[in-house]
Amino acid sequence: MKYIQRYWKIVVSVVFAIAVAVFWALPAVSLLSYHEQYQLFLFTADYFRERLAVPGGLADYIAEFITQWNYIFVVGALLLALLFFVFQRLTWRIAKGEEAADVWYPLSFVPTILMLAYMCDANVMPSFLVALVLVQLLMLLWQKVACGANSVVRVAFIVVVLPLSYWLLGPVMLVLAAYIFIYVLANKSRRLSPWIAIGTAIYAVATVLVVAQFRPEPLYRLFGGLNYYRFPAYIPWPQVAMMTLVAVFPFLLRLLPAAKAKIAIPIQIISVVAGGCALVFFSFRTIANEIIDYDYLVRMHAWGKIIEKAEKKQPTTPLEVSCVNFALSQKGQLCDRLFEFYQNGGEGLFPTFTRDMLSPISTGEIFYTLGMVNDAERYFFEAQQAIPNFRRSGRLCQQIISCEIINGNYSVARKLLHELSHSLFYSRWADERLAMLGNEKKINADPVYGRLRKFRVSKDYLFSDTEMDQMLGLVYTHCYQNRNAYEYLMAYELVQRDMTKFMEYYPIGRFAGYTDHIPYAIQQALVFDWTQRHGSFDGMPYSIEPQWQQLMVQFIQAYMSNREDPVLSTPPLSNTFWNYMLINKRKAKGTKKESKEVY
C-alpha cells in the first residue's frame, strides 16, 4: 500500500506514455511517416546553422532530429511518447510548485491529452511540443529563481532568458512571460514587485518587435511561430489555446480545493481516460488522416493492406481511389477487380495535379511504375516544392534521384545524393547509388532501373492530361512487356465509359502475354459491346468465360424489368462494368482543362 501511495503517480504516467506510444505506433503510424517524409535532417554544420538562424530554431532542430527516427516507426513512436511523458510530468511539477494537491494529479494529464488530440492534425509540428516542453523547464527554473534568488537574479533571469528563449524556442517564450506575469501577481506572499510582472509583459512583446526588425516574416508569424504549424500563413487557434493553457494550468490546479483521494482520483482517471479517448478518437478520424494513411501504405508498398482497407470501407476521393487502383495493378488485379471498388472516372486512375505536397506523390509513383519517368519526376518535384515550410523530403529526394539515374542525368543525381548522404537513414541508399552512377551495366541490371529504362519511351510526345489514353498507348506499344500500361489504358477507357476507344485499343492486348484469362473487367466490356449489336452470344470472337455470359443475361433481365432491382446493387452484379456503365452513371468529376496558364 505504501508502495502504491508512493509510486502511483509515476506508474500512471508510464502507463499513459505506453498508451501514447501504442497510439503512434499503430493507428497513427501513418502520421509518423507523414512527418518524416516532409523533412530531411542532415548531420551538417550548415543544417544546424540554418535552423539556428531563425526564431524557434533550436526547437525545430531537436524536433527534426527526433522526427527522423520516425523512419523506424517504433522508435519514432517511443520518442514521441517520451516527449508526451515529459510534458505531462513537467506540467505536474510546475503545478506542484504552485502547491497543487496530489489528489489532482490525474488532471495534469489534461494539457497532454489536449496536445495529443491537437497533434492528430498531421500539420502540427513536433517543434511545438518540443518548444512547450523546453519552456516548461524554464518555468520550473523561474520557480526556483523566484523563490530562492534575490531580485537582481530575478531581473537578470528575465532579461536574459526571455530573448534567448524566443530565439531558441520561438513564441512559446510568451508562455514563459505570461507564467511569470501571473506568478508575480498570484504569489503576493513572496513579495515580488508587480513591476516585474509589467516589465516582463512589455519586455516579451518588445523582444518580438525588435527581432521583427531583422526578419522579413510578417508580425503575426513572429508572434505565432514560424514552424509550429506546417502552413506558414496560418496560426491555428488550438495552438494559441494550448499556449495559454500551459501558462495558466498550474494556477488553475492550485485553485482546486482539497478532496478525498479515494473518490476524487478514480473519478478523475475515469473522466480523463474516457474524455481523452473520445477526444483523440474524433480528432484522429478525419478524411485528411485517411488520405495520409493511403499515402503511407503506398510508401510501404503494402498493396494487400490497401485493398483490405478499401474492402472494409470504399474510398471516394480521387486520391484514395487511385491508390486502390494502383494497389490492384501492383497485384496484377486491376482489370480483374476494377469494378469491385468505387470508381470516379479517369480521376481515380490519375488524379488531376494539385499544388499540394501529398496528392502528387502517389500519382508520381503510378507514373513511375508505368515507366513515365519524366512525369513521375515532375510530380515528385512538385510535391517537394509544395512543402509549405520549405523543408526537403528524404522520400521525394530518393524518387527524384531515381528518375535522374534512369534518365542518365548523373551530375544532377550526384548533387542530390551528396545531400542525402548526410542523413541518417538515407545515407546508405545514397552511397549505393553514388557507386552506381555512370555504370550503365550496373544500372541496366538493377531490377527497377533496368525495367523502367526499357519502359521509357524514346519517341518524344508532350504530356497532356486530357489524352492519358494516347500516352498510355504510346508507352505500352513502346514495350509490350509493360502490361501495367495496357491495363491502365483499358481501365482508363472503361472508367471513362469510352467503348469506342476501348474497342480500338483492346486488340493490342494480344502482345501483353495473357495466358490464363482475359481480365474480367475486359471480358465484361467485350460482352457488353457484343450484346449492343447482337441478340445472342453465338459467334462472339472473344474467349469469354461462361460465368460472364450467364451474369450478363441475369443483369439484362433484371435491368430490363426493374432498374431499381436490389440484385443490381448487390454483388456480383454490382461489381461489374455493366453496373458502372448503366446504373452508376455519375459523371467523373472535374473536367480537365486543356492546359493551365503559368503566368
CB of 455 to other proteins, least distance (A): 11
Residues 19-38 contacting other proteins, CB under 8 A: none
Report the alpha-carbon distance of residue 593 to residue 590 in Å, rounded: 9
CA distance 594 to 599: 16
* Smallest separation (angstroms) from other proteins to the CB of 403: 10
Q: Specify the 3-state DSSP secondary structure of 235.
A: coil
d(CA 479, CA 475): 7
> CB of residue 425 vs other proteins: minimum separation in angstroms?
20
> Is residue 382 within the footprint of other proteins (CB under 8 A)?
yes
- State the Cα–Cα distance between residues 307 and 531, nearest whole angstrom: 32
How far apart are alpha carbons 184 and 186 in whole angstroms?
6
Rule CB under 8 A: say whether 375 interacts with other proteins. Answer: yes
Least CB distance from residue 415 to other proteins, whole Å? Answer: 6
- The amino acid at 568: L
- Our finding on whether 595 is near other proteins (CB under 8 A) is yes
Give yes or no for residue 457 binding other proteins (CB under 8 A).
Answer: yes
- Determine contact, residues 533/558, Cβ cutoff 8 Å: no
444 is a site residue for other proteins (CB under 8 A): no
Other beta carbons within 10 Å of 586: 10
Spatial CA neighbour of 465 closest among 581, 372, 387, 327: 372
| Residues in contact with 194: Cβ distance below 8 Å, sequence separation at least 6, in sequence order | 184, 185
Of residues 2, 4, 46, 441, which one binds other proteins by CB under 8 A? 46
Q: C-alpha grid cell for residue 406?
A: 534512369
Number of residues that bind other proteins (CB under 8 A): 50
Distance of CA 345 to the CA centre of its chain: 25
Distance in angstroms (rounded) separating the CA atoms of residues 189 and 98 = 12
Specify the stretch interacting with other proteins by CB under 8 A; choose among 266-274, 289-297, 382-390, 524-532: 382-390
Asked if 464 is part of the footprint of other proteins (rule: CB under 8 A), the reply reads yes
CB of 236 to other proteins, least distance (A): 15
Q: Which residue, 43 or 195, is less far from other proteins as judged by CB?
A: 43
Q: What is the smallest separation between the CB atom of 475 and other proteins, expressed in angstroms?
A: 8
Contact by Cβ (8 Å): 28, 284: yes
User: CB of 381: closest distance to other proteins in angstroms?
Assistant: 6
List the one residue from 6, 301, 355, 563 that touches other proteins (CB under 8 A): 355
Query: Interface with other proteins by CB under 8 A: which range of 96-104, 385-393, 489-497, 523-531?
Result: 385-393
3-state DSSP assignment of residue 124: strand
49 near other proteins, judged by CB under 8 A: no
Closest C-alpha to 41, from 427, 430, 435: 427
Q: Is 597 near other proteins (CB under 8 A)?
A: yes
Applying CB under 8 A, the span of 74-82, 171-179, 241-249, 376-384 interacting with other proteins comes to: 376-384
Among the listed residues 150, 189, 458, 536, the single contact to other proteins using CB under 8 A = 458
- CB under 8 A: which stretch of 284-292, 305-313, 367-375, 574-582 binds other proteins? 367-375
Binding track, positions 204-223, relative to other proteins; x by CB under 8 A: --------x--xxxx--x--
Among 123, 409, 427, 477, the residue binding other proteins under the rule CB under 8 A is 409
What's the CA gap between 218 and 246, in Å, rounded? 25
Q: Which is nearer to other proteins, 50 or 565 (CB)?
A: 50
**Cell 505500352 belongs to which residue?**
476
Instruction: State whether the Cα torsion 250-253-258-260 is positive or negative.
Output: negative
User: Closest approach of Cβ 49 to other proteins, in Å?
Assistant: 12
Contact 242, 114 (CB under 8 A): yes
CB 390 to other proteins: min, Å? 4
| Shortest spacing between CB 461 and other proteins, in angstroms | 5
Residue 108 touches other proteins, criterion: CB under 8 A: no
Q: How large is the greatest C-alpha to C-alpha distance in the chain, in angstroms?
A: 102
CB of 389 to other proteins, least distance (A): 9
Distances (CA, A) of 491 to 150, 335, 367, 485, 486: 77, 6, 15, 10, 8
In this structure, what DSSP letter does residue 583 have? I
Is there binding between residue 564 and other proteins (CB under 8 A)?
no
Residues 503, 504, 507, CA angle at the centre, nearest 5°? 80
Q: Which is nearer to other proteins, 314 or 595 (CB)?
A: 595
Q: Which stretch binds other proteins (CB under 8 A): 61-69, 80-88, 246-254, 591-599?
A: 591-599
H/E run at residue 145:
helix 126-148
462 binds other proteins (CB under 8 A): yes
461 binds other proteins (CB under 8 A): yes
Asked if 456 is part of the footprint of other proteins (rule: CB under 8 A), the reply reads: yes
Please report, to the nearest 10 degrees, the dihedral formed by the alpha carbons of residues 553, 588, 341, 557 taken in order: -10
Please select the residue that binds other proteins; options are 386, 424, 540, 581, rule is CB under 8 A.
Answer: 386
Do residues 87 and 132 touch, judged by C-beta distance below 8 A?
A: yes
Binding residue for other proteins, selected from 471, 512, 521, 527, defined by CB under 8 A: 471
In the bound complex, what is the minimum distance in angstroms from residue 506's beta carbon to other proteins?
24
Q: What is the nearest approach in angstroms of other proteins to the Cβ of residue 318?
A: 18
Cα–Cα distance for residue pair 187/182, rounded to 1 Å: 8
Residue 324 per-residue DSSP state: H
Burial class (CB in 10 A: 0-12, 13-18, 19+), 363: buried
The residue ranges that bind other proteins (CB under 8 A) are 46, 212, 215-218, 221, 232-233, 353, 355, 372-375, 378, 381-382, 384-388, 390, 392, 406-409, 411-412, 415, 418-419, 456-464, 471, 474, 595-599
